[in-house]
Each structure stands twice: as structure tokens, then as C-alpha cells.
Structure 1
């Protein structure tokens, strides 16, 4: 077999001998490792570990997104369920508080003497604030996750303190609302307690055109129970922060492992 010749045309067409050119190792100009050894270094067990951590991080990310959206939808719905009965009750009270009818020979309104309205207004205010905030977050999800995260940033900044505040606010509001329903001096004076009382039933016929006490008793009862559920959403929010902490640890491990692998690559290129 004839060995291949290497030449360039020289001056006057005279061939000139050329030495064979060896290609530089694609791994590194200065590296003493062969390509096989280099691949072995870069494709060790850390590759599988990094891939596993990245998959786990992605699963945690999706789980957190689902839980966030679920918790906000539940909170918004429960806030609305609380808000609507409170609004209907207050509107009905304002419409009828100055309406008088003769009952047992005396002129009176459909409500108790010296009616106490602060429990209803307090509960209404908590429901309104909660509904506005949670609705803003849910609508932000329609525009994208980033928008929702920004809308939810107020709670995120305070972390567990925001969860505790949410739980305490609803628990206290529901507790006060329920406490006010108790009779004081033998008479119900708040709107919820009065509409559910026997005294209201006795004058129902006289005010049948203005109000159905049983309906508003049921509406406010539903509102109270929905407030308890809203307080319970703090537990779901707490689980979100738990998964967020797990993801934070996972991301740190990914960053450390990635940094180690990058240092290894640089060392091989040196």
C-alpha cells in the first residue's frame, strides 16, 4: 500500500512536502485526559443526582402552584359566601329599621329595642377585605402566574405571620359574631340572634311584607360557618409554605451540585 503524500504546489509548480497535521484533542488543549476519561468524569453519578433533584424541584413547583390556586379559590368563595348574607342582612335592616307597625296595641319596628349592629358590621368588614384580596389574586391568575405572585406578595412578605393573622382575624371575628348572638338581659339585640329568636317569630305576621326572619336567620348562620371555613384555609396556606421550604432546600442543593460540576469542567479545561 502506498502511503498518502502531503504536498503543496511550490514555486514553479514544484511539490513541497508537508508534515501530517494532528487535530487537537477536543477535550482541552492542555488536558492530559483522553476523551473517554473526560466523558467518564462528566457523566458520573452526580449527573443522575442532579437530574433527580431537578425533577423533584419541578414536581414541588407544580404542587405549590396548585395549592396556591386552590387555597385562593376556596378563600375567595368562602369570603363571598360570608359577604353576601351579611350584605343582604344589613341592607334589609337599613330598609326596615324605620318601618313601624302596630303589634299588641303598641307601635314598633321589626327589630329589637336598642339593636346592636356592630357584630354584623364587623363581620361584614372582615368578609369584604378578605373577598377583595382573594378575588384580586384569583383574577391575577387569569393573567399569569407571575401576576398572581405579585398580587399575593403582601402575604408572602410576612410568611407565617400572615397565615397567623388570617387565622386569628377570622377566628376572632367568628367568635365575636357568635358571642353577640347570645341573649343579653334576656333579650337578643344583635341582628343574627334576633332573627332566630322566638320574639321575632311572635311579630313575624305583622311584618310579613317587610321581612322573613327565618330566611335571614339561616343566611347569617351560613355566613358564620363559612367564616370558620375561611379560618381553616390558613391550614392549607401553611402547607404551601411547608412545600415552599422544601423547594428552597432542593434549589440550594441543585445550585451547589451545579457549581461543583462547573468547577470540574473548568478544571478539565485548564
Structure 2
């Protein structure tokens, strides 16, 4: 696992940690910018990327981690070398655990800004919060459920609340049961867990399945190009093998 830290000159360095030798860290959850605007592993390795829009999220995460007394932090866009297929597969299958083990998870909402109270005393940002694109993406389901500490921030870095204080709003927006938001995933059936991401979007169709792996505690080899339906069948096969009775055939998951 690679983690970021800030250098004295304001730049960022990557350090690789192995096994159980991983220090406390913060982790970022966000909606990706256009592909050419996210800072990549190659950018940081070559001391580039500061002109990209996504760089501000790294700066935000660094400053917030420092406020929380954390030296290290993790951002998916640049802490994974996505040109290395083996590393990418390991990262995707480890993602749920990495979010779960984080000391802090920061949700950066690029489409929410803070404002003063209106006449009705409702916070102006709450409407934008409920409509945020972050709640429509497939990968952010596990990023919401895995960590115990999840703090939500506006695009200008102002804290809006956390998973506890915004629990009711998050439940209403996502349809995810409060008990699941509190981390008790084992109390829910496979079909219930699948529905948490059923209406969410991913850029690559197979990721509609791969983003569920941690939620089901399943490890699967990634086969990009296999298609969503085939990936769902492989996931269902794995779940069936682990269960003494079938949770349902493939028609429960997809239209075969």
C-alpha cells in the first residue's frame, strides 16, 4: 500500500508500506474529474500534476489529515499505479479493507458549497448535498460503508458533518438501512447488499460488480472486457459456493 505525505516545500511524496507495517492514515473519497485532470501515480513520480484540477483534492486531504494529527493519507487516483494490471487487481480487491482500516475518511463533494442560513433556517448546502453526484457512483458505496469515521466536506473544504450527524439524510438519499451505515453489514442478505449499488453508475460496466466485492467479502480476479453479466455470474457462483443454501440463481441478479 502506498501512502502520501507532504514535503517541506509543499510537494507530495509516496511511500510504500508492506504487511502490518502500515501507519495510521486518512483516506479520500471523491468523484473523479475528467481523466486528464486527475493526478496520477506517474504524475507524482515525475513531480508533475500540480496544474491539474484534481491537485486541489490532494492538497485538501493533506491539510485535513494534518489537522487530525495524521502524517499519511491515501488518494486512489495517484497511490495506485494503474498501468500495472497486477497492482490494480490487488488494489481493487483490497479497497474495502483499506477504507475500513483508515483512521479518517474524508468525502470531498465538488458539487456542494457552503452558505449562510436561509430565512427558513435550512442550510443552503443541504439541497446540493442530497443531489451530489457522489451518491450516484458505484465505488462510493463501499467508501461510505467500510470506514467508521466518515467526514463530509464541501468543495471549499468546510466540514458539513459526518456519517453519524448526517445519518438520517444519508439513509434517505441512499436507501441504505441505518444499521448498515453503522457497519453491521452481516445483518443483511446478499440481495439487500446488491441493491445498495443497483442504481449507481460506474465508468466501466464491470466495475458495477467489482465495486461490490468488499461488501460481500469476496475476492475475484478482474477480467475487464468480460461484461457486467458475466462478472455478476462469477460473483454469484462464489457466493453460492460459500453458502449452504443458494441466495438465488442468476435471475436474482441480472436478466440472463
Which structure is higher in helix share? 1
TM-score by length of 2: 0.20
TM-score by length of 1: 0.20
Which structure is higher in strand share? 2
